[in-house]
Amino acid sequence: MRKWLVAGALGLGAVLWLQAVEPERVDLGVLHRIKAEAFGRNSRVMDTVFYLTDVYGPRLTGSPNIKDAANWTVKKLEEWGISGVKMEPWGPFGRGWAATRFSAMMKEPEFQPIIGFQQPWSPGTNGAVSGQAVMAVITNAEEMEKWKGKLKGKIVLTAPTHPSTLSEMALSHRLTDEELAAAAEGPDPASGNPASLPLGFFRSTPGAAAGGRGGPGAAGRGGFAGRGFRTQLNKFLREEGALVVLTPGNGPDGGTIMGQAAGSQNPGEELPPPSVVVTNEHYNRIARLLAKNIPVTLEFDLGAKFTDPGDSFNLTAEIPGTDPHAGFVMLGGHFDSWTGGTGATDNGAGSAVALEAMRILKTLDLKMKRTVRLGLWTAEEQGLLGSRAYVKAHFADPADMQPKPEHAMLSGYFNLDNGGGRIRGVYIQDNDEVRPIFESWIAPLKDSGVTTLTIRNTGSTDHMAFDAVGLPAFQFIQDPLEYGTRTHHSNMDVYDHLVPGDLEQASAVMAWFVYNTANRPEMLPRKPMPKPGAGRSAGGGRGE
């Protein structure tokens, strides 16, 4: 009897052990079909991103552009036979804004066209205005006093010069095997190794020192701290009668301008003066002339259109699964963009890839147990507002962590929003249990460059809204290319800086992950639900 019990226990243990270590079953035939549809002549990803960028971009939330782009996307999804397509309102956003005209030049001491763009939520000039330039770097309330009565009719330079230096480092970069291996290592608290990986991890980029993502320029004019002071300075400059306010673009090379907002979508906040961000080289020339007491006359003709405050929306659509009780899997990225460029790498690329993954799955008529739901979010740039609102409405409010019915039905969410580079792996978001699952899924993708899983996280994008309420949500690791150094929030964020092969590869990888999640017998493992009011931070947007 005892021998039988022991043998039975050993047999049961062996079965459980085999179940624990048995790799995920993957259908390589399906992977072959996905690749065949994603690459080459069958691909539609570049056509999609062309419409989102060249035709409709930039897509600032609340602007007419983003509504037009959304209407086009709805029609395209319906054309592909995808169901449940809708623009789902998520609540008030504020006033909309779009630039309608931009002309800038130096008139004296010599003519020169000026490269720049108008900063969002700043008004136009009501025709051409011309005035003397003056350098008035104001970093605190006390410094305002010495400029009282001196700025009327002036064009004001509000920040120190930002030297453009020759860089020996290429602006575009693909992750090396060494960098990916380092990323795969877990954080070491003793060494201060961060739990989160920044954009272009383990690489010092020109953009990091030039106001790129997370650089000094992100703070606003001159890098001084605080939105409150910015509002105070705007009020002072407006009351003093400044014609136009200039800021250097903090770009790493000639002509590249990385800009932020001058005003706010909040209708309760007063508008700033007309505000322009210009390339460093042109800004610096003006500053040097002023430093030598050589008068500089500038002319600007700026147009801006404000739209009434209203509700914003997220775009959603579905491919129904075969089992209505099996739940669903989501994929997406943010649909809105910044201005200056056309929102190509941030984040027309991610939106187009998610749309292409939906098209691939639908075109191949793959049978999937779970429903596949697309989510394209707005107001990511203002603080993940669209995805946070969607999560609160559908899954749980981080304030009380009371799960709604759909919370138990979501197997996972996959996000793409780190530029246009090809996918190299997945941030598994401190979720150890998904590692063996994802390892099985990336194994047949290694010849496409997908090799790496890292326990760490990358923040400041929409998967964080899902993670904040305990849902499995993941961002893909991508080759940085020029994202952190040149295109992020800049006038270079345009179609020309996208690589077709990279977006085709990303579309295939995203479709493959979604397909496997949709057909996996079990839901993806979850981390423990955060406590009410103490959820994992959803991160901030990058617009302010």
Three-state SS sequence of 466-531: HHCCCCCEEEEEECCECHHHHHCCECCCCHHHCCHHHHHHHHHHHHHHHHHHHHCCCCCCCCCCCC
Domain boundary among 306, 339, 357: 306
- State whether 378 and 504 are in the same domain: yes
Query: Looking at residue 168, what is its pLDDT?
Result: 66
Domain residues for the domain of 61 are 25-87+309-519
Question: For residue 5, what are the CA distances in angstroms to 1, 2, 9, 11, 13?
Answer: 6, 5, 6, 10, 12
Domain count for the chain: 2
**Do 391 and 258 share a structural domain?**
no
Ranges assigned E (strand) in 360-510: 371-377, 410-415, 423-427, 452-454, 473-478
Whole-number pLDDT of residue 226: 57
Give the pLDDT confidence score for residue 191 in this predicted structure: 62
3-class SS at 78? helix
Pair (290, 318) in one structural domain: no
Distance CA 71, CA 49 (A): 15
Residue 535 is predicted with a pLDDT of 54
> What is the b/e burial string over 283-310, where b = at least 16 CB atoms within 10 angstroms of the residue's CB?
bbbbbebbeeeeebebbbbbbbebeeee
Alpha-carbon torsion angle 111, 113, 114, 118, nearest 10: 120
Domain check: are 161 and 272 in the same one? yes
Verify that 287 and 320 share a domain, yes or no: no
- Which letter does DSSP use for residue 173 in this model? B
pTM of the prediction? 0.91
What's residue 218's pLDDT?
32
Examine residue 83 and state whether it is found in any structural domain, yes or no.
Answer: yes
Q: Does 117 reside within a domain?
A: yes
Give the pLDDT of residue 188: 73
How far apart (Å, rounded) are the C-alpha atoms in residues 134 and 152?
A: 11
At how many degrees (to 10) do helices 349-363 and 28-38 cross?
120
Beta strands in 44-187 (DSSP E): 83-108, 112-113, 116-118, 129-135, 155-157
Q: How many residues does the chain have?
A: 544
pLDDT of residue 5: 43
The reply to whether 320 and 300 lie within a common domain is: no
Look at residues 260, 285, 306 and tell me which one is the last residue of a structural domain: 306
**Would you call 408 exposed, middle or buried from its count of C-beta atoms within 10 A (0-12, 13-18, 19+)?**
exposed
Q: Does one domain contain both 301 and 329?
A: no
* Cβ 336 vs Cβ 312: under 8 Å: no
Q: Which amino acid is at 101?
A: R
- By DSSP bridging, strand 275-278 and strand 116-118 are antiparallel
Neighbours of 175 (CB within 10 A): 25
> Is the domain of 332 the same as that of 288?
no
- pLDDT value of position 476: 98
| Among candidate residues 123, 122, 129, the one with its CA nearest the CA of residue 155 | 129
Residue 141 lies in a domain: yes
Tokens of 279: 């390339």
Quick check: helix, strand or coil at residue 358? helix
Cβ atoms of residues 356 and 38 within 8 Å: yes
Compute CA 197 distance to the chain's CA centroid, rounded to the nearest angstrom.
Answer: 15
CATH code (residue 498): 3.40.630.10
**What pLDDT is recorded for position 167?**
65
314 and 292 fall within a common domain: no
Q: Tell me if 189 is assigned to some domain.
A: no
Which residue from 324, 367, 326 is spatially nearest to 523, judged by alpha carbons?
A: 326
How many other C-beta atoms lie within 10 A of the C-beta of residue 126? 10
Whether residue 110 is found in the same domain as residue 220? yes
Instruction: Measure the CA–CA gap between 151 and 435, rounded to whole angstroms.
Output: 60
Q: Which pLDDT value is given to residue 22?
A: 65
- The parts of the chain modelled with pLDDT lower than 70 are 1-22, 165-169, 189-194, 197-227, 534-544
Identity of residue 460? S
3-state SS track over 180-208: HHHHHCCCCHHHCCCCECCCCCCCCCHHH
Domain assignment of residue 372, yes or no: yes
What's the CA gap between 449 and 425, in Å, rounded?
8
Residue-wise burial string across 10-35, b where 16 or more C-beta atoms lie within 10 A, e elsewhere = eeeeeeeeeeeeeeeebeeebbebbb
Residue 403: inside a domain: yes
Same domain flag for 418 and 387 = yes
CATH code of the domain covering residue 263:
3.50.30.30
The per-residue pLDDT for 23 is 72
Residues 394 and 498 in one domain: yes
Residue 115 lies in a domain: yes
What does the pLDDT read at residue 431? Answer: 96
Residue 265 falls inside a structural domain:
yes
